[in-house]
Amino acid sequence: MKRVIILIAIISIYLSLYAIFSNLKIEKKVELEGLKEEIITKVNITTNRSVILFIPAVDNNGNGIMTKLIVEAKPGNGKVLIDIDNLFFWIDTQQSIRTAKKVAEKYLKMNLSNYDLIYKIETNAQVVGGPSAGAAITIATILALLDKQPNKNVSITGTINEDGTIGQVGAVYEKAKAAKDFGIKIFLVPKDQSIETELIPKKECTKVMNFEFCTITYEVNKINIGEKVGIKVIEVSNIEEAIKYFL
């Protein structure tokens, strides 16, 4: 009789525990489903969204300038439109826009075939080219899709690769100076480009009879761009690292 009572008690405890854990699993499932729906809602675009990002560039005279990048996302059918006013837009910059769209899709894990993206660059310069705006275009695209405005104290230079990594560019010092003069506090640059190498020529001559023989050697001088310009320069390797500074 005692064995029967003990067996009944064990079965009762087992059934109670099973019911408790079953409820926990159900609650957890509901919670996860709700979270998934919330994420989908965040990137569901039903109205036009636009983002403005100021980025440094170099004009046809080699001077650093600030340009105004506007990215608009709206419901559509996957078109990419470029609006250019008094600006010669190089082919490689157009390629950067295509790459930026692909990286944004991967980063947000969403299909952009139902949305149109419109890119506009405003500047006083007649020539602004090159792929160095790729990272900035990617970040602006992501922020537009998320309907978030960027931190106005941050700017970036760097190319963009399809795997989301940020590649090196030229004229980092000139761009950093343009960003500083514009009021930017934090300037993001590709990895290993916060330090610039300067070659200083050194001429040494010796006279032998009536002839003078000269040789020129170069001394390597390392320049910390942030310290020289007076702006905080931070190296970033990919979009995941860079976008944190804009949010």
Q: Which pLDDT tens digit goes with each residue over 143-161? A: 999 999 999 999 999 999 9
Q: Which residue of the set 132, 155, 177, 194 is catalytic?
A: 132
| Range name among 25-39, 53-67, 93-107, 203-217 with the lowest pLDDT average | 25-39
What's the whole-number average pLDDT of the chain?
81
- Of 96, 101, 155, 175, the catalytic one is 175
Instruction: From the options 3.40.1080.10, 3.30.310.50, 3.30.230.10, 3.30.70.260, give the CATH code of 49-193+232-243.
Output: 3.30.230.10
- Of the two residues 224 and 58, the one the predictor is more confident about is 224
Neighbours of 143 (CB within 10 A): 24
The pLDDT assigned to 213 comes to: 87
pLDDT of residue 237: 97
Helix (H) or strand (E) holding 71: strand 64-75
pLDDT bracket for residue 187 (50, 70, 90):
very high
How does residue 62 score in pLDDT terms, banded at 50, 70 and 90? confident
Q: Where are the domains of the chain?
A: 49-193+232-243, 195-224
Compute the distance between CA of residue 81 and CA of residue 157 in angstroms, rounded to an integer: 22
Token code pair at residue 100: 């930026």
Return d(Cα 193, Cα 157) in angstroms, integer: 10
- Among residues 175, 164, 161, 183, the alpha carbon closest in space to that of 128 is found at 175
Establish whether 175 is a catalytic residue. Answer: yes
Q: 123 falls in which pLDDT band (50, 70, 90)?
A: confident
